[in-house]
Structure 1
Amino acid sequence: MNHSALCWQAGALAAREEALADEAPVALVYNGVSHAVMLASPGDLEDFAIGFTLTEGIAAWHEIVDVAIVPVAAGVEARVTLIESRFQALQARRRQLAGRTGCGLCGIEHLEQALPAIAPIASDFRTTPDAVLAGMARLAAAQPLNQATGAVHAAAWLAGDTLTVREDVGRHNALDKLVGALAAARAPRDGVLLMTSRASSEIVHKAASAGLPIVAAISAPTRLAVSLAEQAGIALIGFARGERLTVYSHPQRLGLVATPGATTSAISR
């Protein structure tokens, strides 16, 4: 959507039309019961509903019966139908979520819920630093919404020469959309997750829940993200841009070994 704006540059003022990114409240509704409300870009919402369901541990793929995206007066409802046994299990532990911010969790009742258990992923996939950087270089051209607005993140799946991209105002939402798309396509988990953001602990946790073996972010990871990646067997990469990247965990997935006598566990290339 375009909006009239004033641009000041080099002492000159000019009127121009600027494209703005849309965001809307999206309610995740399971078997008629609202579970969470997220602010998201209103595109690829079926992928978003599926990915959120999977990465939040609400249900497995085979337990999802149907997804319907329904515009309502206040926003959008993503109506997910689960098999009855899974819905009853969800109700037993149900808590009302107000959604996530970029740096915290809302609606968590106990500290243990903030850091749920993370299991090692079952994958022996490996790649090279050059392949990761080449994929990241391709990503900018595969983000039409960001090219138009400059206001959204992208999550991309690099599998061979194929790059699958989902965009959203929220990096977590973009990743959920991507996971949903991969699940719907029955895509194998032999590839690299590319993120146009920092690598937060939640990004790593969602990647682990989806079985993604390598996570590469354009910016830095957090200490907790590195710890979770080490536990999960994920190669976590930061600062993947240009001709450089830094590997913080499981460098063997990129065919790298630490330099003897190095003072840090990170490996830069």
Structure 2
Amino acid sequence: MYEDGIGREALCFDGERFQRRERQLAAELPCRFYLDGELLSSFSCSPWQLSDLALGELRIRGLIRSASELSELIADEEKMEIHARLRPRDRCRGEELSGEERMRGREERILVPIRSVQKLSRLFNEASRKFHRTGGIHAAALADFERLLLFREDVGRRNAMEKLLGACLKEEPDLSGKLILFSGRIAAEILEGASLIGSPVLIAVSAPSSMAVELAEKRGMTLIGFARGEEFNIYTHPERIEGTMLSSGLN
């Protein structure tokens, strides 16, 4: 439902004259998330993969560490409602992981070929079909050096990353040697979500913010921005990317 977008007539100017044409808009609908029978949050999102979004939000809030801590998760994509229940013995409301805990696993010594960064950026762009139809969708993906393994999309940047985080909680993939790709600007909240997934490398199509770079540096993540075509910028921990030199001035 709505995956191809919602058709809406627009008055389009082609440089010479106006014409009425139908354009596809990215679907964005209001959603309510209930936890243990109480309203946890209300937000707008794309009407698909709601269970992944729920898991991701609970993880970011520090309410769960794994999908098994839920006794129930029902995502109704027609009513746009999510209902979840925590197992009583697993309740950990308000508990946030420390910075040290989030950094565990960041010391993984992988060496990513330059061609893999370029290839994955191309595959990521090709997979973003909803974006190409509407121009209004963000995406996040988990990949190895050759292919995309998990791919999630949403009209919201944060929602897209939360969906990927939730999918990783649900699927429990082996994160050894895995990378994260993201379609938009990397703000601190996006870096936070990516850091909880556990991959040491984040590749973004757009720019990172200064705070995101600082967080990536602290948490031992390799942060790449402006990955388009053959080019990209490495902002932190370049030692994981083939051909970089520590004398470049980055840590």
Question: Could you say what secondary structure the match of 2:115 adopts?
Answer: helix
Counterpart of 2:165, as a letter, is V
Give 1:141's match in structure 2, choosing from 119, 126, 129.
126
- The answer to whether structure 1 residue 187 and structure 2 residue 187 are counterparts is no
Check whether the contact 1:121–1:208 (CA below 8 A) recurs between aligned residues.
Answer: no
- The answer to whether structure 1 residue 231 and structure 2 residue 218 are counterparts is yes
- The answer to whether structure 1 residue 197 and structure 2 residue 184 are counterparts is yes
TM-score (norm: length of structure 1): 0.81
Question: Could you say what secondary structure the match of 2:99 adopts?
Answer: coil
Q: For 2:83 and 2:44, locate their aligned partners in 1 and report how far apart those are by CA, in whole Å.
A: 16
Q: For 2:42 and 2:245, locate their aligned partners in 1 and report how far apart those are by CA, in whole Å.
A: 44
- The answer to whether structure 1 residue 16 and structure 2 residue 44 are counterparts is no
Q: For 1:6 and 1:214, locate their aligned partners in 2 and report how far apart those are by CA, in whole Å.
A: 42
- The answer to whether structure 1 residue 4 and structure 2 residue 9 are counterparts is yes
* Residue identity (%): 30
Counterpart of 1:67, as a letter, is L
Note the 1:104-143 alignment, pairs <5 A: 117=99, 119-123=102-106, 124=108, 125-143=110-128
User: Match of 1:77?
Assistant: 81
Give 2:51's match in structure 1, choosing from 33, 46, 49.
46
User: Match of 1:108?
Assistant: none
Give 1:63's match in structure 2, choosing from 50, 69, 77.
69
Counterpart of 2:172, as a letter, is R
Note the 1:207-246 alignment, pairs <5 A: 207-246=194-233
Aligned CA distance change for structure 1 residues 32 and 256 (closer, same or farther; 3 Å)? farther
Which consecutive aligned stretches of 4+ in structure 1 deviate over 6 angstroms post-superposition?
Answer: none
Q: For 2:156 and 2:98, locate their aligned partners in 1 and report how far apart those are by CA, in whole Å.
A: 22
CA drift of 1:12 comes to 2.3
TM-score (norm: length of structure 2): 0.86
Check whether the contact 2:70–2:87 (CA below 8 A) recurs between aligned residues.
Answer: yes
Q: For 1:216 and 1:16, locate their aligned partners in 2 and report how far apart those are by CA, in whole Å.
A: 36
Aligned CA distance change for structure 1 residues 161 and 66 (closer, same or farther; 3 Å)? farther
Unmatched 5+ stretches in structure 2 = 1-5
Q: For 2:11 and 2:219, locate their aligned partners in 1 and report how far apart those are by CA, in whole Å.
A: 48
Question: Could you say what secondary structure the match of 1:248 adopts?
Answer: strand
Question: Could you say what secondary structure the match of 2:151 adopts?
Answer: strand
Question: Could you say what secondary structure the match of 2:184 adopts?
Answer: coil
Check whether the contact 2:237–2:250 (CA below 8 A) recurs between aligned residues.
Answer: no
Question: Could you say what secondary structure the match of 2:194 adopts?
Answer: helix
User: Match of 1:110?
Assistant: none
Question: Could you say what secondary structure the match of 1:37 adopts?
Answer: strand
User: Match of 2:143?
Assistant: 158
Check whether the contact 2:179–2:200 (CA below 8 A) recurs between aligned residues.
Answer: yes
Figure out how many residues of one structure are paired with residues of the other and give that number.
240
- The answer to whether structure 1 residue 37 and structure 2 residue 22 are counterparts is no
Question: Could you say what secondary structure the match of 1:154 adopts?
Answer: strand
Question: Could you say what secondary structure the match of 1:179 adopts?
Answer: helix
